[in-house]
Amino acid sequence: MTSPLRFRGIGKRFGGRVALSGVDLELRAGEVHALLGENGAGKTTLVRIALGLLAADEGALQVDGRDVAIDHPRRAARLGIGMVHQHFSLAEGLTVAENLLLADAPALFSRRALHERAAERLRRRGVLLEPARRVRDLSVGERQRLEIARALERAGRVLILDEPTAVLAPAESDELFAQLERLRAAGLAILLITHQLDEALSIAQRVTVLRDGRVALAASRGEVTADALARALFGEGAAAAAPSRRLVASGARGMPGATAAPVLRAERLAGERLGPVDLELRAGEVTVVAGVDGNGQTELVETLAGLRRASSGRLERPTEGVAFVSCDRQSTGLALDLPIAENVAVKRGFLARAWFTRRELEAATRPALQRFDVRASGPWQPARTLSGGNQQKLVLARELAHEPRLVLAENPTRGLDLRATAFVRGELQAAAARGAAALVATTDVDEALELADRLLIAHRGRLHPCEATRAAITRTMTELAAGGRS
């Protein structure tokens, strides 16, 4: 059996961080291979190496049994390795035919000839699309099919798909899988990158799970259970967790006397890719929303924060004293070109009057900056120059300095080093201990377990209660995955 692509012992570091280590993965013709892993597990890095965008530090790539060096995307294409990204690169104003033949249109052509050529190529790939339609008028699923056809035009032996169902409705996902099955049967090797256990189980012949840059599990479908997959994905037994700054008086949280009215209440709240959701957040309690990315967490947090409007349902939320820590530090959390002090003062509550002197601004913001340990040479340094960890601390300084009643955070420690991660988690807990109601959405299971007084799992826009233990999480996720698309 030919192996159009094989990773042998691939290793890669970025600075001090190990992204990949000793990764073995073999793709075979006529086979769908699912690659599972959390964010940051190394899937993207691995794929970029195969596409010639990155060079591996260790190990080798092999095509048909021979070592190859893929140093440029064009080389990857010539070796037959193609990819369909999550974000399509299609020109919307052009037609299907025009997009398909953009790479190798003849210098002169008639419209009919172009359409015929496009139709023939689409037919060969088993893609059903009309050449004359404008991409703008296509549904997401149809656009994806066009992307697949385009990728196969460029490179026809290996097709890599990056989270293809993240943007699809359930019916479209079924169509996609049907097409992938046809392509597989025709001899294509398919690498399917996904978060979703149920996809891997339903369509793949073989599965590899990456965790922290290493292969945690590699098996063929018949050999593996959903439970084993989940355990490999989320880990069993704590990974070397950093010591967190738990408050000494841990009994201060979740006090049984907390029967006061909820700080936030949502009834049948629904919006795009969200809901309906029923939720109550109480003072002093940290509610964690766990789950893989793309299940409505961003939509939920932003709707609760007032940044998005729900399309139906009721939301009672405080209008003041809301702290919002977005997952998008750089354009929602901060104004990067502004100095640190101004990034803090943008929020109400720091400056007493509508006007201020430089000294007043410094004085008003210094306590918060010190308290949250924002390391910088001075308050007038532009926020852009701070490290990622310090930028997040800056966001916290702004949001948490004034004892908020409600804290909403999404993936607050993503991309941060161990120390910053511990700091942020500690501060979130401290805020709750002082009486805030907190909701933290995170894809990191360790973080979920550390912070949660109450745990919910997000799945396809809805929330499912779950016990705050690792076993319960894996079990619930497996069940949700096996329950299929709701």
Partner 1 sequence: MTDLLEQIARLALPLVLATLAEVVAELGGVVNLSLEGMMLAGALTAWLVAAGGGGAALAPALLASLAVGAALGALLALFVVGLRANAIVVGTALHFICLGATGLFYERLKGSSSATTFAEIGGAASAVPYVGTLVLVAAIVLLLTRTRFGLHLRAAGDDPAALRAAGGSPARTRVIGLLIAGAIAGLAGATLTTVLTGTFVEGMTGGRGFLALGLVLFARWNPIGALLAGLFLGSLFALELRLSTRSSQGAAPGALTFVLRALPYLLTITALALAGPRKSSAPGALGRP
Partner 2 sequence: MRRHAGAIAALLAAGLALLLLRALGLAPSRALVLLARGAFGDAAAWVTTLRIAAPLALCALGVLIAFRCGLWNIGAEGQLLVGALAAVAAASATASCTAALLAGALAGFLWALVPALLAVARGVPEVLTTLMLNGVALELLRWLVTGPMQEPTRQFPQTAPIPVEAHLPRLELGRTGGIDLGLAIALLLPIVVALTLSRTTLGLRLRAGAQSPRLVAATGWPLARARALAFGIGGALAGLAGAVEVAGVTDAVDRSLSQGLGYAAVAAALLAGLKPMAVVPAALFFAALATGTSSLQWEANVPGIDRFGLVVEGLAILAIVAALALRERREGNAA
- Applying CB under 8 A, which residues contact partner 2? 305-307, 319, 322, 324, 326, 331-338, 342-343, 345-348, 351, 354-358
Strands 454-459 and 462-466: antiparallel
Q: Report in angstroms how near the CB of residue 79 gets to partner 1 at its nearest.
A: 16
Q: Report in angstroms how near the CB of residue 361 gets to partner 2 at its nearest.
A: 8
Render 255-266 in DSSP notation, one character per residue: -TT--SPPSEEE
> Cα separations (Å) of 219 from 11, 25, 59, 231, 336?
21, 10, 21, 14, 46
Check binding of 103 to partner 1 (CB under 8 A).
Answer: yes
Using a 10 angstrom Cβ sphere, with 0-12 exposed, 13-18 middle and 19 or more buried, the burial of residue 348 is exposed
Residue 332: name its binding partner from partner 1, partner 2, none (Cβ under 5 to 8 Å by kind): partner 2
Check binding of 447 to partner 1 (CB under 8 A).
Answer: no
Q: Report in angstroms how near the CB of residue 96 gets to partner 1 at its nearest.
A: 13
Check binding of 237 to partner 1 (CB under 8 A).
Answer: no
Q: Report in angstroms how near the CB of residue 147 gets to partner 1 at its nearest.
A: 10
Residue 462 and residue 456: Cα distance in Å, rounded? 9
Check binding of 1 to partner 1 (CB under 8 A).
Answer: no
Q: 4: Cβ–Cβ under 8 A, 6 or more apart, which residues?
A: 27, 28, 29, 63, 64, 80, 81, 157, 158, 189
Residue 342: name its binding partner from partner 2, partner 1, none (Cβ under 5 to 8 Å by kind): partner 2
CB-nearer residue toward partner 2: 28 or 347: 347
Residue 142 and residue 145: Cα distance in Å, rounded? 5
Q: Report in angstroms how near the CB of residue 294 gets to partner 1 at its nearest.
A: 22
Check binding of 106 to partner 1 (CB under 8 A).
Answer: yes
Q: Report in angstroms how near the CB of residue 145 gets to partner 1 at its nearest.
A: 16
Residue 296 DSSP label: S
Residue 269 and residue 188: Cα distance in Å, rounded? 43
Longest pairwise C-alpha distance within the chain: 79
Residue 377 and residue 203: Cα distance in Å, rounded? 54
CB-nearer residue toward partner 1: 114 or 376: 114
Residue 105: name its binding partner from partner 2, partner 1, none (Cβ under 5 to 8 Å by kind): partner 1
Residue 91: name its binding partner from partner 2, partner 1, none (Cβ under 5 to 8 Å by kind): partner 1
Q: Report in angstroms how near the CB of residue 325 gets to partner 2 at its nearest.
A: 10
Q: DSSP 3-state assignment of 82?
A: strand
CB-nearer residue toward partner 2: 75 or 317: 317
> Cα separations (Å) of 370 from 164, 238, 362, 366, 379?
44, 32, 12, 6, 11
Residue 411 and residue 440: Cα distance in Å, rounded? 7
Residue 94: name its binding partner from partner 1, partner 2, none (Cβ under 5 to 8 Å by kind): partner 1
Contact 165, 196 (CB under 8 A): yes
Q: DSSP 3-state assignment of 171?
A: helix
Residue 13 and residue 128: Cα distance in Å, rounded? 42
Check binding of 99 to partner 1 (CB under 8 A).
Answer: yes
Binding range to partner 1, per CB under 8 A, among 87-95, 187-195, 253-261, 370-378: 87-95
Q: Report in angstroms how near the CB of residue 52 gets to partner 1 at its nearest.
A: 14
Positions 352 through 391 that interact with partner 1 (CB under 8 A): none
CB-nearer residue toward partner 2: 290 or 325: 325
Q: DSSP 3-state assignment of 226?
A: helix
Q: Report in angstroms how near the CB of residue 322 gets to partner 2 at its nearest.
A: 8
Contact with partner 1 (CB under 8 A): which of 65, 110, 257, 355? 110
Contact with partner 1 (CB under 8 A): which of 92, 267, 272, 337? 92
Q: Report in angstroms how near the CB of residue 326 gets to partner 2 at its nearest.
A: 7
Structure tokens belonging to residue 141: 């699923």
Residue 122 and residue 116: Cα distance in Å, rounded? 10
Check binding of 309 to partner 1 (CB under 8 A).
Answer: no
Within 10 angstroms of residue 314's Cβ, the number of other Cβ atoms is 11
Positions 116 through 155 that interact with partner 1 (CB under 8 A): 150
Residue 303 and residue 329: Cα distance in Å, rounded? 17
Binding range to partner 1, per CB under 8 A, among 97-105, 322-330, 454-462, 474-482: 97-105
The count of residues interacting with partner 1 (CB under 8 A) is 19
Residue 89: name its binding partner from partner 2, partner 1, none (Cβ under 5 to 8 Å by kind): partner 1
Q: Report in angstroms how near the CB of residue 332 gets to partner 2 at its nearest.
A: 4
Q: 334: Cβ–Cβ under 8 A, 6 or more apart, which residues?
A: 343, 383, 391, 394, 395
Question: What are the residues binding partner 1 (CB under 8 A)?
Answer: 89-94, 98-99, 101-103, 105-111, 150
